[in-house]
Amino acid sequence: MVNQSEQFSKFIELKDVVVKRDDRVILNIPYAIIPADRIIACIGPNGAGKTTLLKLLAGLLSPDYGTVTFSFLPAKTALVLHHTPMIKASTRSNLCIATDADPSITAEQINAILEQTDLTRLADSPAHKLSAGERQKLCLGRAILQKPNIVLLDEPTANLDPNTTEQVERMICGFTNQGFEVIFSSHQLAQVQRIAQYIIFIDDGEIKEKGPVGPFFSNPQTAATKRYLHQELLTE
Are 158 and 82 spatial neighbours (Cβ–Cβ below 8 Å)?
yes
- 80 within 8 A of 158, measured Cβ to Cβ: no
Task: Tell me what the mean pLDDT of segment 205-214 comes to.
Answer: 95
The answer to whether residues 209 and 220 touch, using CB atoms and an 8 Å cutoff, is yes
Going by pLDDT thresholds of 50, 70 and 90, the confidence category of residue 159 is confident
150-154 vs 181-185, strand pairing mode: parallel
- The tens digit of pLDDT for each residue in 34-59 reads 999 999 999 999 999 999 999 999 99
Residue 1 has pLDDT above 80, yes or no: no
pTM for the predicted model, two decimal places: 0.91
Residue 6 has pLDDT above 80, yes or no: no
Candidates 94, 133, 130, 138; CA nearest to 114 is: 138
Predicted local confidence at residue 130, as pLDDT:
92
Q: How many CA atoms lie within 13 A of 16 on its CB side?
A: 4
Whether the predicted pLDDT of 5 surpasses 50: no
pLDDT of residue 138: 94
Domain made up of 11-87+146-235: CATH architecture: 3-Layer(aba) Sandwich (3.40)
65's CB contacts (< 8 A; 6+ apart) are: 16, 17, 18
Q: Where are the domains of the chain?
A: 11-87+146-235
